[in-house]
Structure 1
């Protein structure tokens, strides 16, 4: 099975591209063969258009909190909601989120989906600092328009399966939450490099098979790039692929049967 891991950004460019790991899962061994930089959304859409079967893990929220959606009167069918959001345009969507949050009391401005709470992730509404709300706006409509089988939000018969993943969960489990990345050049340290190396050592150890039910095999160039890339994007793409590969070998992609399809679900063994 072809496996993809996508570290996403809401504003790709040659300095901060979308990063995609390409791998093959055979006999419970995930071989990551290459990592590509995608500096434009057109490049990203070209990857999505590649014929299946494949399973991909995307590091951005597929949806928004049900509480927000219902409060704003948006459709409660995921596809219709995403179409509504896309029709607003970027500025319209962001203005709506900010206006809603501004009217909320302190401590209750940014809601979280159930999966965000379980994963200890920030709100999918967040537009600043780590702008996952902007990632949702740029990512979800593109997944929908490509006709993918988007689990659990929009099920189709397509052989291209999209899953929401969160690579920080892998780091928390194996690397004692040590920070391994930093986008700001002046803040990048040897400690970040050491943390990336330590996490890669774990990825090559039996601990991965014990937790994810498969082993990981990285091309030597991918290993070097994962250590050298101080932004952590290369390593994140590898972790996204690992989580997607795990989901491909467990029932229902590791998504609870009672999951809310409007909100979506982050797939990882820790979320069962």
Structure 2
């Protein structure tokens, strides 16, 4: 049975705000959560990816950059070369390059977007604050490559292992279930009853399979209690990514790039699974 992975990622993990991994498996339209793991360093997370030889995972971080941005900056337009170049830059160099790009553009159109941002409702992958997804790409994608993962449509990984990494976005599935209601906050003052109720409603909908993904989430009572109590939403976001990975897993392999990814995805931008 294929190991499913869902990852709520941080570009600067710590004991207080770790990277959270949800593990599970799928059978007959049911996705079962088996375990939640946390990693307080990027190296520990990367080592776990490398040491776990077979999985299909949904990772909440961008896998590519907008083509418009890449071409204007004169960066490589082949994905592997682009990621190697990007990984070699410091965060300050990335911030400076992106700020310069934005400064030359009109108000209301500062950022370049990937094609997938529209249907997914995701932040532009060049954004370096609130949330700093540009740094998430910088910290996460090279470690996925180093672990030997295949990123369908973008990169073929190590042949001796079966590690499939899909870009996921928990907000896409959460909006389908609870609309624009907020279900989490890192700000303790905002961790209120309304957000707890939104988490309860979101979990109830996942367990009923009330999504277009046609998958039902199976939880134990203690797992449900833990997800409800997680006011930051990190564990719940990891579970949402795991469900998106489960959807990708059951899509026909002969269509597009497999895993529900379109055949015409831009090979330097990538695509968010289920968008």
Structure 2: 5+ residue stretches without partners: 253-257
Structure-1 separation of matches of 2:229 and 2:181: 17
Structure-2 separation of matches of 1:126 and 1:222: 33
| Pair 1:267 & 2:273 matched | yes
Offset of 1:165 from its aligned partner? 0.6
Match of 1:254 among 260, 269, 274: 260
Does the residue aligned with 1:75 lie in a helix, a strand or coil?
A: coil
Q: Kindly provide the CA deviation profile for residues 37-81 of structure 1, in whole angstroms up to 9, marking residues without a partner as x.
A: 111112211221133321000001111100001111111111110
Aligned twin of 1:3: 4
Aligned twin of 1:136: 137
| Pair 1:198 & 2:172 matched | no
Indicate the structure with greater helix content.
1
Asked if the contact 2:11/2:139 (under 8 Å) is kept, the reply is yes
Structure-1 separation of matches of 2:51 and 2:223: 22
Offset of 1:164 from its aligned partner? 0.3
Structure-2 separation of matches of 1:191 and 1:238: 21
Does the residue aligned with 2:204 lie in a helix, a strand or coil?
A: helix
| Pair 1:223 & 2:224 matched | yes
Aligned twin of 1:53: 54
| Pair 1:167 & 2:170 matched | yes
How large is the Cα RMSD of the aligned pairs?
A: 1.4
Offset of 1:148 from its aligned partner? 0.7
Structure 1 segments of 4 or more deviating over 3 A? none
TM-score by length of 1: 0.94
Between 1:85-94 and 1:238-247, the stretch displaced more is: 85-94
Equivalences, count: 267
Structure-2 separation of matches of 1:28 and 1:131: 34
Q: Kindly provide the CA deviation profile for residues 12-32 of structure 1, in whole angstroms up to 9, marking residues without a partner as x.
A: 011111111011223432211
